[in-house]
Structure 1
Amino acid sequence: MKKETINKEIFIECRPQTLFSFFIDPGKMQKWMGRQILMEPRIQGRFRIDIDGDNIALGEYKEIVQNEKIVMTWGWEGSDIMPPGTSTVEFLLEEQDNGTLLKLTHYDIPIEKIHSNNDGWTHYMERCKGIAEGVDIGVDPWSIKKS
């Protein structure tokens, strides 16, 4: 099966210490991604991000460098195409001028999932930027269950 990689960057006007907390504090993460977050932010600790009641991301933390880097496995509950643990997401936080350059690299994405994952990371990185910069971004429209 052919695998792809997504690379994204976004500049966020906040310190790396502030931004880092939005990746390890479930209450803060839920403000920009998903509707329910469970996480154990430590090496081999697991996480569960319920996006909308149907799409649930699962994985575990592989590397955590305070205020600099988070690496986790990633996949989707119940997915045959991209099950939990089959891809890896890396977030790098680089201090820059008056803020942080957030670099995301998502490795080993099956070609069938590249478009949806690319759209997802574009959506969520914009939301992360807003919340970290103190903007009221409101409830994630993707977290509302479609009937």
Structure 2
Amino acid sequence: MAEYTASVEIEAHPDVVFDYLVTEAGMNAWMGQTATLDPRAGGEFAVGIAGAAVRGRYLEVERPHRVVVSWGMAGSTDLPPGASTVAFTLTPIAIGTRVDLLHSNLPDAQLDGHNDGWTHFLARLRVAAAGGEAEEDNWMPIEHRQR
């Protein structure tokens, strides 16, 4: 199993950034086309991303410092719903917030695709949470681009 880590600095207060991880409008502004979220321990985490149905549960919700969700893809045998864990840690910094992401329990074969996706989507989070509007999102998973 593999881990993916990344950080992004956002010119916004942690309370503002936090809402982009726990509200449907916030999530759709940077990562999903659809979202059904129940941001409490055990609550539903369902996001549609580029045709993929990400499914899991909120495991930790500590405003405005930490959000942890289980993560997987509906219909996947490699990474079924809830098989991996994504942790967002929000730390106040001089310009606003540093978001540290840790995606753990990824199958090794999934690491490159998730690296590509998180790089793309964290850049969009930086824009959206700072009050900007992320451009239209035409991102596709690596495996769909190679066909």
TM-score scaled by length of structure 1: 0.92
Letter in 2 for 1:74: W
Residue of structure 2 in register with 1:120 after alignment:
117
2:75 aligns with one of 70, 78, 85:
78
Give the C-alpha shift of residue 139 in structure 1.
2.3
1:110 aligns with one of 101, 107, 110:
107
Distance 2:139 2:24 in 1: 18
Distance 1:119 1:52 in 2: 13
**Count of residues in Structure 1 that have an aligned counterpart in Structure 2:** 141
Residue of structure 1 in register with 2:23 after alignment:
25
Give the C-alpha shift of residue 15 in structure 1.
0.4
1:101 aligns with one of 90, 98, 102:
98
Q: Deviations over 1:93-124 (max 9, x none)?
A: 00011210100000010001000011111111
Letter in 1 for 2:50: D
Determine if the alignment matches structure 1 residue 67 to structure 2 residue 64.
yes
Letter in 1 for 2:57: E
Give the C-alpha shift of residue 133 in structure 1.
1.3
Residue of structure 1 in register with 2:132 after alignment:
135
- Structure 1 runs not aligned, ≥5 long: none
TM-score scaled by length of structure 2: 0.92
Determine if the alignment matches structure 1 residue 36 to structure 2 residue 29.
no
Is this contact kept in 2: 1:34–1:140, CA < 8 A?
no
Q: Deviations over 1:71-106 (max 9, x none)?
A: 110001111101011100000000011210100000
Is this contact kept in 2: 1:87–1:108, CA < 8 A?
yes
Letter in 2 for 1:97: A
SS at match of 2:139: helix
Q: Over aligned residues, Cα RMSD in angstroms?
A: 1.3
- Structure 2 runs not aligned, ≥5 long: none
Moved over 4 A (4+): none
Distance 2:103 2:133 in 1: 27
Identity of aligned residues (%): 33
Letter in 1 for 2:98: L
Letter in 2 for 1:34: G
